[in-house]
Chain A
Amino acid sequence: MVQVIKAIFYFGPLLFGIGFLAPLSAQIIQAMGWTPPFGLTPLMTGLILGGAYGLLAQIRGRWV
């Protein structure tokens, strides 16, 4: 259990990118009425943006 919790916190930035920033980005895209390029859906775009930003934060150890 402790190992699972440690893993969750270790991968926190990546999980936050996918778990929160991705759907947030998708809902911002929808609310603004934007159309993502290459036929991507808002959620796919959100997953790319949130996942990439989360991965970057995971590697750098910081969001900003």
Chain B
Amino acid sequence: MSPTQDLSHLSEAELLRMEREIAARHLDKFPYFAVFWAFSNFAVWLALWPLVFMGIIPLWLGFIIATANITLSYLPSHEAQHDIIAKPGAKLRWLNQLVGHVSTIPLVLPYQVAKITHMDHHKHANDPELDPDYSTHADGPLHAIWKSIYNRQPRANGGFNAYGELLNRKGRTDVILVSVGYQLVHYGILFALAWSGYALEAALLWWLPRHIGLTYIQYYLSWAPHNPGLTKGRYRDTRSFRSIVGNIGSLGMQYHIIHHLHPRIPLYRTPRAYWEMKPILEARGCDVHDL
């Protein structure tokens, strides 16, 4: 099928059959790179601490690498959240869970929190009441950056505070407690380092890189693929878009529509699936005009 082929004459059932056939070709592929990425990224971030403390690398370089590490730390966990590495009951399930838990430690985001809230995002994308990521909606790029920062303020209603509200509604006190534990350990480490004479190191290897990383992640994973986010529904709640930093620079999100339609397709297969599926998406009236 050519990416420009017109399929608008086909019935809904035919479009769905073709879409599923394409998706099936990209499902159940083991994401080797995501697994390698999860552990190597975390190991590099951990290694920065002794390297900077012993003066082997300068703090400014550690800051740049830490910012890249933390920005890249979410996506392997995202693969795990969708059971892409191994489904429940599979032999490698432990690896799926390990990737999920380990990769978001620098973000101070427990895997359980990420998974529960992300599943609700898929279920209720663009719903102002039920989508836990709705607070990232914004009028433009600069407003999106501001919203990300604003949502992290102590008494903000969005961002991680909205995640807390969702977990509370679901009665997941156990997961809230895990999150509280993460926060206490995170701030405990920052305070201890700061009062031991390593405040600059703590700020530039963890605190500031985490805030920059969260802003970048929320911009490209949450705002850009859903903007303007006015409509709901399987073929309406997300889109493809062309990023000025390309697909890799946008953390693989240019083809986010494929992820929402078929969440178990690994990130590295979404571009191929998109180009194969594009005529179907156009026939469905999806927002795929940018790319």
Contact = CB atoms under 8 A, between A and B. Distances in A.
B197 interface: yes
A5 B197 CA distance: 26
B154 A20 contact: no
Nearest to B190: A20
Given A19-B194, A20-B190, A62 B207 contact: no
Contact of B194 (A8, A12, A23): A23
Identify whether the interface residues of A are mostly helix, strand, loop, or mixed: helix
Interface string A26-48: 11100100000000000000000
Nearest to B197: A27
B200 A61 contact: no
Contact of A24 (B153, B155, B156, B203): B203
A49 interface: no
Contacts of B156: 61-62
B46 interface: no
A64 interface: yes
Contact of A23 (B155, B180, B183, B199): B199
A10 to B, nearest CB: 9
A26 to B, nearest CB: 7
A5 to B, nearest CB: 6
Nearest to A31: B200
Given A5-B180, A24-B199, A24-B203, A19 B191 contact: yes
Contacts of A23: 194-195, 197, 199
15 contacts: A8-B184, A15-B187, A19-B191, A19-B194, A20-B187, A20-B191, A20-B207, A23-B194, A27-B199, A57-B154, A61-B154, A62-B153, A62-B154, A62-B156, A63-B154
Interface of B: 149-150, 153-156, 180, 183-184, 187, 190-191, 194-195, 197, 199-200, 202-203, 207
> Top 10 nearest A-B pairs by Cβ distance?
A61-B155, A62-B153, A24-B199, A23-B194, A19-B191, A23-B199, A27-B199, A20-B194, A13-B154, A27-B200
